[in-house]
Amino acid sequence: MKVLVTGGAGFIGSHLVDRFLQDGFQVRILDSLDLRVHPHGRPSYLPRNVEFVHEDVTNKQSLLCALQGIDIVSHQAAYQDYMPDFSRFLSVNAVSTALIFELIVQHRLPVKKVIVASSQAVYGEGQYDCPQHGFFLPTPRSQQQLLHGDWELHCPQCQRTAKPRLLREELNNPYNQYAVSKLAGEKAALGLGWLHGIPTVALRYSITQGARQSLYNRYSGVCRIFFSQALRDLPLIIYEDGQQTRDFVHVQDVVDANMLVLERDEANFQMYNVGSGKAMSVLAYAHAVLKKLSSRVTLEMSGEYRRGDNRHSVSSVEKLRSLGWQPRRPLSVVLDDFLEWIDSVGGIPQQVEDAHAHMRDAGVVLTSSV
């Protein structure tokens, strides 16, 4: 069996490459080696015995060549950022996904299964309960609300503070450009896969962490940001009040989920959350990083917030658990593995730009009046 891993030089993709090789697959990688993520070109952790295609997933001819002789497509390539280049999100995350199916159908390629990386972001501001009026899907918090430092979600009917639910697969409500692009890609994949008889699965990743997260990408996530700041004895900047919650999942648990749905026919044409199922506040995460490093740097409660961020995002993983999967690696393992990764590459690079300042200048990071 031969597998194509788009984005296979990246964080999640490269771990999948390792697992596919370990399980006896032949592997081809298609990756553009985006300079923001890979400033030194092909990363050293990629095995030399894999076929590597240095091309963009949106290039039709390159993608067609990469699909030749392929049995399994693992579509991990994605664009993620906080900057307002809205069209690029749709181009990379949605159009490339549709293009994969377009080429499979047009050229009658004998692909046996496609697994698409989706995101928890498709849930938008989440799923909530009001103690009086029950369940509702909220619109994003307004700029007026956020400017006044009112961080929690309120019932639209009575304005009581609402309680977040664990996010379930059957409901989605995206608003920002990344979330919309991931849901568009997911729906294109599952719909076209069903119509044309191509077994397809979409996996909605929660915040995935571990070794090989880019140390150069300004937007590679809270793990890199907090470690980078703490190791330089700089304060950790906490948006809102730090009580917003997320769930964090180890990259090897994500790899396990991919391999499971590849093997299970009952997963075909389904979407699954892949997360921890456990809420952790950003403030608690910051303290965990500082404890891991025995660092005494301060936390800076700046009163700032990011335009388009949601307040609470914690996924239910019961649907995937019913197939026999479960998250096995706790946050302590995530932090150990990431710190070991930093040490193995000689520390946090000095030339990484300040994402916070960049987002503030672009109007992505704003300041409340409190």
Q: What is the pLDDT of residues 250-268, one digit of tens each?
A: 999 999 999 999 999 999 9
Q: What is the pLDDT of residue 355?
A: 72
Chain centroid to CA 249:
10
pLDDT, tens digit, 9 for 90 and up, residues 8-63: 999 999 999 999 999 999 999 999 999 888 989 999 999 998 999 999 999 999 99
Q: In the structure, what pLDDT confidence band is assigned to residue 81 with cuts at 50, 70 and 90?
A: confident
Please give the mean pLDDT across all residues of the chain: 94
Please give the structure tokens belonging to residue 79: 């664009």
Query: What mean pLDDT is predicted for residues 118-124?
Result: 96
Letter string b/e over residues 344-365, b meaning 16 or more CB atoms within 10 A of that residue's CB? eeeebeeebeebbeebbeeebb
Phi, psi at residue 300, to the nearest 5°? -105, 105
Task: Say which CATH number the domain at 91 has.
Answer: 3.40.50.720
Residue 190 and residue 349: Cα distance in Å, rounded?
Answer: 40
Residue with tokens 């997360």: 275
Number of domains in the chain: 1
Residue 36 and residue 92: Cα distance in Å, rounded?
Answer: 15
Q: Closest Cα partner for 317 from 268, 278, 275, 269?
A: 275
pLDDT, tens digit, 9 for 90 and up, residues 187-221: 999 999 999 999 999 999 999 999 999 888 766 67
Q: Which secondary structure element, helix H or strand E, spans residue 194, and what is its range? A: helix 177-195
Q: What is the pLDDT of residue 353?
A: 65
Question: Are the C-beta atoms of residues 101 and 188 closer than 8 Å to each other?
Answer: yes
Instruction: Map residue 62 onto helix, strand or coil.
Output: helix
**Which of 101-105, 173-177, 345-349 has the least mean pLDDT?**
345-349
Q: Residue 84 above 80 pLDDT?
A: no
Question: Are the C-beta atoms of residues 185 and 227 closer than 8 Å to each other?
Answer: no
Query: What domain range includes position 119?
Result: 2-367
Q: What is the pLDDT of residue 190?
A: 98
List CB contacts of 275: < 8 A, sequence separation 6 or more: 120, 205, 206, 207, 247, 248, 249, 314, 315, 317, 327
Residue 189 and residue 195: Cα distance in Å, rounded?
Answer: 10
Q: What is the pLDDT of residue 82?
A: 67
Please give the structure tokens belonging to residue 263: 């093997």
Residue 74 and residue 134: Cα distance in Å, rounded?
Answer: 39
Residue with tokens 């890979």: 38
DSSP output for 298-319: PEEE--EEETT--SEE-B--HH
Number of separate helices (H) and strands (E) present in the chain? 12, 19
Q: Closest Cα partner for 271 from 197, 185, 210?
A: 185
Question: Are the C-beta atoms of residues 98 and 30 closer than 8 Å to each other?
Answer: no
Whole-number Cα distances in Å, 89 to 58, 96, 221, 251: 11, 10, 17, 23
pLDDT, tens digit, 9 for 90 and up, residues 273-294: 999 999 999 999 999 999 999 9
Question: Are the C-beta atoms of residues 295 and 339 closer than 8 Å to each other?
Answer: no
